[in-house]
Amino acid sequence: MMKSLVPVHQQLSVPSVSFPGAMESFLPQIRRDKVVIVMGATGTGKSRLSIDLAMKFPAEIINSDKMQVYKGLDITTNKVTEEECFGITHHLLGFVDPNVDFTANDYNQVASLTVETIVANNRLPIIAGGSNSYIKALVHDNIEFQPRYSCCFLWVDVSLPILRAFVSKRVDRMVQAGLVHEVRRFYDLHMTNSIGLSRAIGVPEMEKYFRNENEVNLKEAIEKIKANSFELAKRQLQNIPRLQKQLGWDMHHLDATEAFVKHGFEADEAWERLVVRPSSRIVGDFLYK
Ligand code: ATP
């Protein structure tokens, strides 16, 4: 489950290349009221699954991570890289001024417009990201969206101890890829506060180190980023079954743990068998049955 960390560029928010091209003409037309939602805690592989699905169905991806909507901190917020996108069009990534608060209301407006544009082109919107409050606001509370679309919910899950180890290694890889320098530049250019991108995990922790607050050293700051990322994963994970229960969402649970325990080819095989194949079947039934 390794991912390369070449920073993604802002053109990802601009519709560009789309896949699968020629294959689309063989598929029955998708009804214009279908949306797939990929949920899961940070680190579980939501982006990977949404790209895997977009390579099988004529789809475009809409980000629903509340920190990835902002311009900047591509490494720190773990935006999908150009290399990982495989030419699949991604929307709502890196397009908001990092100094303003982008509310759930703002998200509703742009996300529902984006969904409309995608379905108008006979393509399937796949909404993927960890911000459960954005997803709830769009799918449940938004009158532009709620009566018009029917949703298929996929929940990618990984057992917590395994996810903890993965998230910790992911932070190490982010540091190797330049997280410290990236946050330093952000810190030098912006007034950090409690709105906008300043809230991203990585900013307050590194700020303490830059300011030498309580003599926090770099190692301690990185450990704090790991701990806070794991806390976020736990919170997100607790929220999903709660939403399922409260709102009666019919979620398809995909346990990806085995793919995170294995390595190399075996990990890829487990991912394909446990996550991609079952979810492709579920989405196929949702779209065409
Ligand atoms: P909450 O109501 O707690 O904000 P939520 O579902 O709306 O929950 P989450 O996506 O869980 O939003 O984000 C909560 C917080 O976690 C963010 O305010 C931010 O501090 C941090 N966070 C979320 N996503 C990222 C990310 N990609 N990179 C860094 N920090 C993040």
* Residue nearest atom 28 in ligand 1 by C-alpha distance: 77
Residue to substitute in 38, 131, 183 for testing ligand 1 pocket (most ligand atoms within 8 angstroms of CB): 131
Residue 27 CA to ligand 1 centre (angstroms)? 37
* pLDDT the model gives residue 101: 94
Q: Label residue 251 exposed, middle or buried (CB < 10 Å: 0-12, 13-18, 19+).
A: middle
43 lines ligand 1 (CB under 6 A): no
Q: What is the pLDDT of residues 216-231, one digit of tens each?
A: 899 999 999 999 999 9
Give percent of the chain with pLDDT exceeding 90. Answer: 83
Average pLDDT over residues 35-58: 97
Break the chain into its structural domains and give their ranges.
Answer: 31-162+237-288, 164-225
User: Could you give the count of Cα atoms lying within 13 Å of 151 in the half-sphere of its Cβ?
Assistant: 25
287 lines ligand 1 (CB under 6 A): no
Determine the Cα–Cα distance for residues 93 and 80; give it in Å rounded to an integer: 9
Residue 5 CA to ligand 1 centre (angstroms)? 20
Whether residue 278 is preceded by a cis peptide bond, meaning omega within 30 degrees of 0, is: no
Q: What is the pLDDT of residues 258-276, one digit of tens each?
A: 999 999 999 999 999 999 9
* Residue nearest atom 13 in ligand 1 by C-alpha distance: 131
4 Cβ contact partners less than 8 Å away, ≥ 6 residues apart: 81, 83, 84
pLDDT band at 194; cut points 50, 70, 90: confident
* pLDDT the model gives residue 26: 62
pLDDT band at 13; cut points 50, 70, 90: very low
Average pLDDT over residues 8-19: 34
Average pLDDT over residues 87-110: 96
Contact 166, 230 (CB under 8 A): no
The mean pLDDT value of the chain amounts to 90
Superfamily grouping for domain 31-162+237-288: P-loop containing nucleotide triphosphate hydrolases (3.40.50.300)
| pTM, to two decimals | 0.91
Residue to substitute in 67, 68, 78, 237 for testing ligand 1 pocket (most ligand atoms within 8 angstroms of CB): 67
Q: How far is CA 152 from the centre of its chain?
A: 17
Average pLDDT over residues 44-61: 97
137: which 2 tokens? 């606001």
Residue 131 CA to ligand 1 centre (angstroms)? 6
* pLDDT the model gives residue 214: 79
Position in ligand 1 atom list of the atom nearest CA 77: 28
Residue 23 has pLDDT above 70, yes or no: no
Residue 73 has pLDDT above 60, yes or no: yes
* pLDDT the model gives residue 28: 73
133 lines ligand 1 (CB under 6 A): yes
